[in-house]
Structure 1
Amino acid sequence: MSPDERNDGLFGGSGETRTRLPEGEGGGQDVYGGARRSSRSSRSSSRSLVTVVGVVVLLIAAIAFANRGGDDSSSGDGDGQKAGAAPTAPSGEKPVDGKTSGIASGFAKSEQGAQSAAANYVVPLGSAEMFSKPRRDEILRAVMAPSSVNRFEAQLDKAYTAAFFKNVGLNDDGTTPNGYQFVSRTSPIGTKVTSYSGDQATVEVWCSGLLGLAGEQSTKPVTNSWFTITMKLAWTNGDWKATTHTQKDGPAPVPGDDRASGSDEISKAVEGYGGFTYAR
């Protein structure tokens, strides 16, 4: 297993960027204010933290110690066909209108439906809600195949410890310190089917993530990262459910010359801008 891959975690056919449907909008020294975006090398520690903690990176790295290995991110299940590249365009299929525990559900049994499922599933798996035990278990039951739920619950219970919370700037019980806002978001950029065989699909999801504490004098300001999740899904009880995944860093674009926003602006953005339902 290469150093940038972690196997056996969470997280049909062409490759393209997803169309997205909006669901609605949701005093001391400020380490964010006026700072130039740091170089790739100066941000390596932040990216390392993101890898260790994850967005779904959070999820993946949290259970890295329990990796089984032997999972090839490019391999399919069975004798599925290999998808080629295709134009970046929506399929025009009607998006899902169902939800399970607040997460999109009821995806079509097709390559497009598998892509939609994978794109939607990486979002809650990489959210701040994963730091709450009751909500984490609810998310796992909504997106994972029943045969995989207990295993992942047990692994994550062992991973979300006081030391783990401290590593991302939270209190020992996983709550956010007073005066700060914990940010953990994953945004799918595009999806690609690498294998599809009717009841099994392997989908790659290229993602951008945010992680950190927004607040004055934060020593762990919100940073962004880029990574690719390869999710295997199985058609289970009339819907696509995740069974396993691999994850690797990148592809990452060259950082721009934007000025970092202040902590107050970041907090308001997180509170004011809702997420999306992702559909192929």
Structure 2
Amino acid sequence: MSPGDEHDYRGRDQGGRGDDPYSTLGGTRQTRTRLPDGDPGDPHARRPVRNSRSLVMVTGVVVLLVAAIAFANRGGGSDDDASPGGKSSRAAGSAPTAATGTKPVEGKNGTIPSGFARDEQGAQSAAANYAVALGSAGMFNSDTRRDIIEATHDPAVVSQLRASLDAAYSPSFYANVGLNKDGTTPTGLTFISRTVPVGTKVVGMSGDAATVEVWCTGLVGLAGEGATKPVTGTWFTISQKLKWVAEDWKISSSSQTEGPTPVNGDNRASTADDMAAAVDGYGGFTYAR
């Protein structure tokens, strides 16, 4: 059983993916990459849509969200779509590339930052950090998964969400992603699951509620000699509905869409050993904006 099977998210598929073990991890819609229009003979003209099967949409955060979205959305949460307050007077294109933000938070809930400011910047920081935590390899272990859920979510939804996810991370699901049936990594291999926020945007904020979108890229898979589930990358956007609870932002519900996805570059894929060394040698980020 996979997260998608548990919560009927595979019902969105358009067929032809039932034999793909990765189809249970989300990515049920095709990703359309649009380039500027040009002459028919121009190699940089708009390219046709790529088949979604070729994208292999596999990320740790999708694993969480396929199960979590179904629960959290049933539980409700703020649906406020009000325009964010205090809009910047800078040009629209300047904010994402300029250095922004105040002093990083100093508190931590376990390994996850806490004590975010009760403003747009604080909501964006919380959403980005939570995306990192929820897309980590720790989600594949029952003990660390419990800690991550408790640190990132509104206490009102934690109990049911934990039960839902514990059922979703089943032996058959672990086997589908190349892990042992108890969720441990096969001997000689390195399991990689990492989500990297590319940018954040507040799309609604009012009182104790905020809706923040986090554009992410992710890595997930097994690295090492003989790995059958190689590390792959994908792009997705997470929409988090946050609630101000106990002097901090917490997730009340989440949803996810594919992309925006850039055109694939000409980079040569690294060896399994190089990927394993990279994930061991390069630490992830725990603070954004």
Tell me the TM-score normalized by structure 2: 0.76
**Partners in 2 of 1:216 and 1:258 — Cα distance?**
21
**Partners in 2 of 1:116 and 1:250 — Cα distance?**
20
The residue number in structure 1 matching 2:121 is 112
What is the CA-CA distance between 1:190 and the residue it aligns to? 0.1
Tell me the TM-score normalized by structure 1: 0.78
**Partners in 2 of 1:66 and 1:92 — Cα distance?**
33
Q: Secondary structure at the match of 1:182?
A: strand
The residue number in structure 1 matching 2:188 is 179
Match of 1:59 among 36, 60, 64: 64
Larger radius of gyration, structure 1 or 2?
2
What is the CA-CA distance between 1:92 and the residue it aligns to? 3.3
Q: Secondary structure at the match of 1:279?
A: coil
For residues 124 and 78 of structure 1, do their structure 2 counterparts lie closer, same or farther at Cα, with a shift above 3 Å needed?
closer
Alignment of 1:147-226 (within 5 A): 147-226=156-235
Query: Does residue 135 of structure 1 match 2:144?
Result: yes
What is the CA-CA distance between 1:91 and the residue it aligns to? 3.0
Is the Cα–Cα contact under 8 Å of residues 77 and 197 in structure 1 kept in the other structure? no
Match of 1:81 among 60, 80, 83: 83
The residue number in structure 1 matching 2:279 is 270
For residues 67 and 201 of structure 1, do their structure 2 counterparts lie closer, same or farther at Cα, with a shift above 3 Å needed?
closer
Where structure 2 has 5 or more consecutive residues not aligned to the other structure, the ranges are 1-8, 14-48
The residue number in structure 2 matching 1:27 is none
For residues 170 and 157 of structure 1, do their structure 2 counterparts lie closer, same or farther at Cα, with a shift above 3 Å needed?
same
Q: Which one-letter code corresponds to 2:126 in the other structure? A: A
For residues 120 and 227 of structure 1, do their structure 2 counterparts lie closer, same or farther at Cα, with a shift above 3 Å needed?
same
Q: Which one-letter code corresponds to 1:115 in the other structure? A: Q
The residue number in structure 2 matching 1:17 is none
Q: Which one-letter code corresponds to 2:259 in the other structure? A: G
Q: Secondary structure at the match of 1:277?
A: coil
Write the deviation string for residues 196-219 of structure 1: whole angstroms up to 9, x where unpaired.
113110000000000100011212
Write the deviation string for residues 180-234 of structure 1: whole angstroms up to 9, x where unpaired.
1110000000000000113110000000000100011212100000000000101
Match of 1:47 among 51, 56, 73: 56
Alignment of 1:229-244 (within 5 A): 229-244=238-253
Q: How many residues align?
A: 239
What is the CA-CA distance between 1:46 and the residue it aligns to? 5.1
**Partners in 2 of 1:78 and 1:67 — Cα distance?**
15
**Which protein, 1 or 2, shows the higher relative CO under an 8 Å CA cutoff with sep ≥ 6?**
1
Write the deviation string for residues 43-88 of structure 1: whole angstroms up to 9, x where unpaired.
835524x1xxx4211101245665756989xxx7447334675622
Is the Cα–Cα contact under 8 Å of residues 60 and 220 in structure 2 kept in the other structure? yes
Q: Which one-letter code corresponds to 1:60 in the other structure? A: L
Is the Cα–Cα contact under 8 Å of residues 97 and 105 in structure 1 kept in the other structure? yes
For residues 191 and 65 of structure 1, do their structure 2 counterparts lie closer, same or farther at Cα, with a shift above 3 Å needed?
closer
Is the Cα–Cα contact under 8 Å of residues 201 and 234 in structure 1 kept in the other structure? yes
What is the CA-CA distance between 1:135 and the residue it aligns to? 0.6
How much is the aligned-residue C-alpha RMSD, in angstroms? Answer: 2.7
**Partners in 2 of 1:92 and 1:131 — Cα distance?**
32
Q: Which one-letter code corresponds to 1:127 in the other structure? A: S
